[in-house]
Amino acid sequence: MRQLALNTHISGRFNIELENLRNSVMAMGGEVEQQLVDTLKAIATNHPGLAEKVILNDLKVNSMESQIDEECLRIIAKRHPTASDLRLIMIISKAITDIERMGDEIERIAKLVTKQKLPADVAIKASMLSIGQQAAAMMRGTFDAFARLDEDAALEVYDQDNSIDSEYKRLLNYTAGEMAHSGEPMEDWLEILWALRSLERIGDRCKNICEYIVSITRGRDVRHMPLENLQQKLDDLSDS
């Protein structure tokens, strides 16, 4: 794997700009990660105040996305980056869209608490929290891998989504069964299903960012490839 040295340009200001850009993505990621942690806590303790804070804080995440996007545009216009620098900036521009969407998914989950629509079924709530913890761990791993542009770590995190997906499917079947003989309004169940779906989508967004990390380090677009092929392809590249 080729190491990306961001701070070796002749232009010291370009070094600083790239470093600031990367740090700002980390700051945005940290913000969204905290949003998910707070949301899970709000679900566990049935704390509408904390969930409300998460919903309001999403505006901050949105603003961060706009600012980082604008900075990417500014750097492209002023610095004319090439090769790995250009890939990094383009990928950051894509990654922040995924991070912002994660923020939106979290906001939707938090609304379950503010609307007092948390599942009454203890098993569903426990599984929801379990998926949430896995998504939070995956998010943490993704941002760590991004901070170091660590391809191996990215591949490891990528794999964790399988566990979230299977847990989600199991929970979906269970919830569908409960819905069938529950007297609660259908719209309440739909809210729960949407929240579960949102948790599952966070895992998918993390996967996207892991693919971006590999795109930066390898200079190859590895999206739309199953994990087995991805690993195999990377192994081939390493051998050659």
Partner 1 sequence: MLKLFEREQLNLAKLPAEQTAIEVRDLNLWFGDKHVLHNITMRIPRHRITALIGQSGCGKSTLISCFNRMNDLIDNSLTEGEIIIDGRNINHKKENLSTLRSNVGMVFQRPNPFPMSIYDNVCYGLRLQGIKQRRLLDDAVEQALIKAVLWDEVKDRLFETATTLSGGQQQRLVIARALALKPSILLLDEPTSALDPLTTLTIEELMADLKKHCTIVIVTHNMQQAARVSDYTAFLHQGELVEYSDSDTLFTLPHKKQTEDYITGRYG
What does the DSSP assignment read for 67-116? HHHHHHHHHHHHH---HHHHHHHHHHHHHHHHHHHHHHHHHHHHHHHHTT
Looking at 78, 148, 220, 223, which residue binds partner 1 (CB under 8 A)? 78
User: Distance of alpha carbon 39 from its chain centroid, rounded?
Assistant: 15
Residue 10 binds partner 1, judged by CB under 8 A? yes
Rounded-to-integer distance, Cα 139 and Cα 99, Å: 10
Stretch that binds partner 1, among 4-12, 117-125, 165-173, 192-200 (CB under 8 A): 4-12
Residue 13 binds partner 1, judged by CB under 8 A? yes
Looking at 59, 126, 176, 190, which residue binds partner 1 (CB under 8 A)? 59
Question: Could you tell me if 147 and 164 are in contact, meaning their C-beta atoms sit under 8 angstroms apart?
Answer: no
Residue 80 binds partner 1, judged by CB under 8 A? yes
Nearer to partner 1, 17 or 211 (CB): 17
User: CB 240 → partner 1: shortest distance, Å?
Assistant: 30
CA torsion sign, 176 to 121 to 115 to 134?
negative
Name residue 77's amino acid.
Answer: A
E strand segments, the chain: none
User: CB 167 → partner 1: shortest distance, Å?
Assistant: 34
Looking at 79, 125, 218, 233, which residue binds partner 1 (CB under 8 A)? 79
Q: How many residues bind partner 1 (CB under 8 A)?
A: 21
User: CB 111 → partner 1: shortest distance, Å?
Assistant: 22
Rounded-to-integer distance, Cα 110 and Cα 139, Å: 17
Looking at 47, 52, 53, 71, which residue binds partner 1 (CB under 8 A)? 71
Half-sphere exposure of 85 (CA within 13 A, CB side): 17
**Alpha carbon distance, N-terminus to C-terminus of the chain:** 12
Residues that bind partner 1 (CB under 8 A): 9-13, 20, 24, 27, 59-60, 63-64, 67-68, 71, 73-74, 77-80
